[in-house]
Structure 1
Amino acid sequence: MSDGSFQAAVKQEEAYLQKVHPTADDIPGCMSLFDDFLLCNVLGAQVKSLYRFGRMSECKEKMEDFKFCMSLKSMHPEQKRDAWIRRRAEWWAARRVGKSSENVWDIRHEPLSKWPPSLSDSMQDTDTIA
């Protein structure tokens, strides 16, 4: 991941998050982040993660979010909002720019040739098989 594309993605994410969270009251509180951490550790979430990904759920990131929120307690609400938006923008930008499980297919810039097959091609294939 190039640093330029990452920084551009961070700026885009920050602009989006500032619109989604226009005031300091719109960002999640520390207790809701702690609740997210606890919900990550419950049996149902662990079983779902084991089924979907073949491993137990990793809740370290949710605990880091809670600790980050607690470190902002002494800040002015607008400064707290800006710091939270910056952190979330970096997280989203890293997901957008970095590789993920969704990067399985190559993007096609032009359609496949002879796809979908014409009816006459299908009929020829069945004639040679029979």
Structure 2
Amino acid sequence: MVAEDTPQFKEAVRQEEQRLRLLHPTPDSIPSCMSLFDDLISCNTVGRQFRSLYRFGEMAHCSGKYTDWKFCLSVKGLHEEQRRDAWTRNRAEWWARRRLGASSESVWDLRSEKLQDYPKAVAFDKAPDTFFE
């Protein structure tokens, strides 16, 4: 879990808000509550659940889609520019938590120099044209 009061988190939220404002420049460009509801319903379909079970060995988790839909309903009464700002802030915080949280990338060390002698040259006892004889 990421501490949301750290400067690192606040900076990540600021960067994400800036990115989302470029991606969604108008209030009409953010998803509607109906499209979020469609995403929620499609997540709970039998086909989606079987696909998730086959691919990942567990049922699909739709709680994030429910949270998005519920948030959309909570800001539906706001003026469209305020709704866009609230949606942008909510998504920016979600992306910041995802960016700063644990991921498979934190397992690997970034290599600053190229490996020496990689890949290793293979020495053959035979000439290449006689490999399959």
TM-score between the two structures when normalised by the length of structure 2:
0.83
Match of 1:106 in 2: 109
User: Match of 2:85, SS?
Assistant: helix
Select between 49-58 and 67-76 the one with higher mean Cα deviation: 49-58
Q: Percent identity?
A: 55
1:79 matched to 2:82? yes
**Structure 1 stretches lacking a partner, 5+ long:** none
Matches within 5 A, 1:1-130: 1=2, 3-118=6-121, 122-123=122-123, 126=124
**Structure 2 stretches lacking a partner, 5+ long:** 126-133
State the 1:107 CA deviation. 1.9
- What is the aligned residue count? 122
Task: Give a deviation string over 1:30-51, Cα, whole Å, max 9, x none.
Answer: 0110000000001121122112
Normalized per residue, the structure richer in helix is 1
State the 1:12 CA deviation. 0.8
Whole-Å separation in 2 of the counterparts to 1:113 and 1:107: 16
Task: Give a deviation string over 1:83-121, Cα, whole Å, max 9, x none.
Answer: 000111111111111112454433222222221223xxx
Indicate how the Cα distance of structure 1 residues 101 and 53 shifts in structure 2: closer, same or farther if over 3 A, else same. farther
Whole-Å separation in 2 of the counterparts to 1:42 and 1:101: 29
